[in-house]
Amino acid sequence: MKRHAKTQILRILLGLALAWTALGAAAGPGRDALDHFTHNLKTLDARFEQTVLDTENARQGVFHGIFQMKRPNRFRWDYLDPEKRHIIADGRDLWVVEDDLNHVTQYYQSMALKGSPAVLLLADTPVDKAFKVVELGERQGLQWLELVPHKVEDSDIVRVLLAFKGNDLTRLEMTDKFGQISRFSFFDIKRNPKLPDANFKYDPPEGWDVFKDLRG
Task: Return all residues near 206 (Cβ < 8 A) that are at least 6 apart.
Answer: none
**Every domain of the chain and the residues it spans:** 2-213
The pLDDT score that the predictor gives to residue 197 is 95
The one-letter amino acid at 117: P
Least Cα distance to 215 among 48, 99, 94, 62 occurs for 94
**CATH of span 2-213:** 2.50.20.10
The pLDDT score that the predictor gives to residue 4 is 52
Cα distances (angstroms) measured from residue 83 to each of 25, 94, 99, 116, 211: 40, 20, 9, 27, 20
| 19 CB neighbour count, 10 Å cutoff | 23
For helices 29-38 and 2-20, the axis angle rounded to 10 degrees is: 100
- Per-residue HEC secondary structure of the chain comes to CHHHHHHHHHHHHHHHHHHHCCCCCCCCHHHHHHHHHHCCCCEEEEEEEEEEECCCCCEEEEEEEEEEEECCCEEEEEEEECCCEEEEECCCEEEEEEHHHCEEEEEEHHHHCCCCHHHHHCCCCCHHHCEEEEEEEEECCEEEEEEEECCHHHCCEEEEEEEEECCEEEEEEEEECCCCEEEEEEEEEEECCCCCHHHHCCCCCCCCEEEEECCC
Give dist(CA 105, CA 103) in Å, integer: 7
Least Cα distance to 199 among 73, 6, 68, 79 occurs for 68
The pLDDT score that the predictor gives to residue 136 is 92
pTM listed for this prediction: 0.79
The pLDDT score that the predictor gives to residue 144 is 94
Give dist(CA 186, CA 50) in Å, integer: 9
The pLDDT score that the predictor gives to residue 2 is 45
Give me the residues of the chain with pLDDT under 50, please. 1-3, 5-6, 22-25, 115, 117, 119-123
